[in-house]
Structure 1
Amino acid sequence: MDEVLDRIPLLAGLPRTVEELPGGLTNRNYKVSVPGAAYVVRVPASEGGLLGIDRDAEHANSIAAERAGVGAPVHAYLRELGVLVVGYLPGRTFTEADLRDSANLPRVAEACQRLHTGPRFSRDFDMFEIQKGYLKIVQSRNFRLPAKYRDFEPQVGQIREALKVQDEGTVPCNNDLLPGNFIDDGERLWLIDYEYSGNNDACFELGNIWSESDLSLEQLEELVTAYYGRRLRNRIARARLLGLMSKYGWTLWAAIQDGANESIDFDFWSWGMEKYERAMAEFTGPALPVLLDEATRPD
């Protein structure tokens, strides 16, 4: 680690303390403190290309998020190593309990709005295309595929067609807002980690938040209503359908990590199967036809 830090001009030659931060399923994150300042150094810990991670895009989009006033300041980037250095944001990292607290949902919506109205990102993110790409990787490398995974392709096609009707274009999205990617400084929320960032449907961001923290349907409605300023049935349905697609797509992310990542001690398969089981319940449940209809209607 010292060899990496010595290649970063603002850290080289200074007395420093290094603390590994918890979390991170594709990186190792270190808090590096030097006299008068603290930084987070993100070092890749997996083959990002398999997962669709573009380190150059992550760097560019992190700068855009900083300009939007919602991301940490970007201080350095070692392109040849994929190492990103951002400012350390003092504050409390969110937990699932924080996101399940309805009092925080308007704050979450406001942070997303700040990002979404900021500078465009350098690439796009479409979970339908990401999922197809992940599936090709899983099959070509003979990684484990969950049972009956491809049986739901007809429903995926129906969802994709329904979402075209009320499509409002894309905005810069983080696309990976797990609880640990929210930092609360006591006044406002910051959004970190732009590995999967790209211009996307705003409702994917909201639906993915719902999915990742397993919020209730009532909380999803609260979040979408706070974001748009009024209750819009088609946007609520859209966020729920895209949240379903996030579960279905990230299941294969986990299958790839399970087959390819040996550097992080984590049960990726169980993590992915939990998402897949929830996705199956929605694909086969009675609500899907209703959601498909509501997503196509003007509110």
Structure 2
Amino acid sequence: MPDALADVRRWAGQPVTETPIKGGLSHRIARLDAADGQHWLLRVLDPRVSQAGLGIPIDQEIANTLRAAEAGVGPRILYRMPGALLLEYLDGATLDARDVRTLPEPIAAACRRLHAGPRFVNDFSIFRKLEEFLTLCHTHGLRVPDGYEDRLPAVARIERALAAHPLPAVPCHNDLLPGNLIRCGTEIRIVDYQLSGNNDPAFELGDIAAEADYDPDLAGRLARAYFGEDDPRLIARVRLNLIMSNLTWSLWFSVHHGLLREQAAAADFDYDAEAADKFARAVRDLDDPGFGRLVDDVRGGRAPGNPDGPPPDDPPGHRVRPPM
């Protein structure tokens, strides 16, 4: 960060002080205060993050950050340096999980603005990311939650259900934990485009719901606020993506802890506990008696002549397989 800070001081032509911001597990960020009273955010991008599969390539993240700013949702890029960005400082309140549970409508509105903005430069699939993480875990001997691979048939079932009636891909953030949501007056702004890419908008909503541990009613409220209609198929789509968020990001913590050991050692964070918690939430929802109904709702209805019975078996198709 010292080199980036020196670059900013030369660019600003005045004294600048920094205050590191803690909480992020990947890139380094700091608030910068200029002598004339201006405030900025410095984001120093660690190439090891994308090299480990924990984020998109740096050039894509920068390009998507620019596009999110054009949509009026992300912070503006004020100055670009090799491997670092000087961003508009959003003078607002960073949300926590409780805030996210009380603000589904403003958050849905922010997502709609982002999704209506310029298309991102890359595509993103939570299913391919899960496969990538599993491969990394097997290749490097990293810890996977007990029973994880027993759930892969359910992952394949979810993917087939979602593919039956796909939604158009839109520019998505894909990692909307509460700390990436900033309340600025009456609007919600979105920061940190480390995992951004064009994706199913229902994953964006499911990810929000997963990170704030929404119950089914609140997930439905978020879906209705975003889509503007009370459609069981769309609500089910969001809830299935909630499961995929918890399943996939549980492995993100395993990979981060295993491949970026220096960063992990410096963080005051229990990676194993977070991975276990996310996986436990996914198992809870997969084992819920209503899981089959969600799958069938997304596919368009229950088996003809059997409105209350179990959903029909899925036809053969793509299956998520553990690496050999």
TM range (shorter): over 0.9
Alignment of 1:257-296 (within 5 A): 257-261=256-260, 262-263=262-263, 264-265=266-267, 266-296=269-299
2:56 partner SS: coil
Partners of 1:283 and 1:220 in 2: how far apart? Answer: 16
Report what 1:53 is aligned to: 56
The structure number with the bigger radius of gyration is 2
1:112 partner SS: helix
Cα deviation, 1:138-195, whole Å, max 9, x if unaligned, reads 1101111111111111111111100011212200001111111111111211111100
Residue identity in the other structure for 1:2? P
Report what 1:42 is aligned to: 43
2:300 pairs with 1:297: yes
Report what 2:150 is aligned to: 151
Residue identity in the other structure for 2:84? V
Report what 1:131 is aligned to: 130
Q: CA deviation at 1:46?
A: 7.2
2:39 partner SS: strand
User: RMSD in angstroms over aligned alpha carbons?
Assistant: 1.5
Residue identity in the other structure for 1:229? G
Cα deviation, 1:12-35, whole Å, max 9, x if unaligned, reads 652112111132111221001112
Partners of 1:162 and 1:193 in 2: how far apart? Answer: 30
The correspondence for 1:71, drawn from 54, 57, 74, is 74
2:182 partner SS: strand
Cα deviation, 1:79-116, whole Å, max 9, x if unaligned, reads 3xx22221101111111111111xx2111110000000
2:224 pairs with 1:252: no
1:7 partner SS: helix
Report what 1:87 is aligned to: 88
Cα deviation, 1:19-66, whole Å, max 9, x if unaligned, reads 111321112210011124211111235721211431111100010000
Partners of 2:286 and 2:137 in 1: how far apart? Answer: 21
1:6 partner SS: helix
Partners of 1:68 and 1:45 in 2: how far apart? Answer: 26
Question: Which consecutive unaligned segments of at least 5 residues does structure 2 have?
Answer: 302-324
Partners of 2:96 and 2:206 in 1: how far apart? Answer: 17
Confirm or deny: 8 A CA contact 1:5 1:12 kept in the other structure: no
Alignment of 1:142-291 (within 5 A): 142-261=141-260, 262-263=262-263, 264-265=266-267, 266-291=269-294
Structure 1 consecutive aligned stretches of length 4 or more whose deviation exceeds 6 Å = none
Cα deviation, 1:121-145, whole Å, max 9, x if unaligned, reads 0101100001101111111011111
Confirm or deny: 8 A CA contact 2:4 2:81 kept in the other structure: no
Aligned length: 294
Distance 1:181 1:10, change over 3 A: farther
Distance 1:14 1:68, change over 3 A: same
1:19 partner SS: strand
Cα deviation, 1:195-220, whole Å, max 9, x if unaligned, reads 00000000000000000010121111
Residue identity in the other structure for 2:42? V
Question: Which consecutive unaligned segments of at least 5 residues does structure 1 have?
Answer: none
Distance 1:164 1:31, change over 3 A: same
TM-score, length-normalised on structure 2? 0.87
Confirm or deny: 8 A CA contact 1:6 1:12 kept in the other structure: no
2:176 partner SS: coil
Confirm or deny: 8 A CA contact 2:56 2:196 kept in the other structure: no
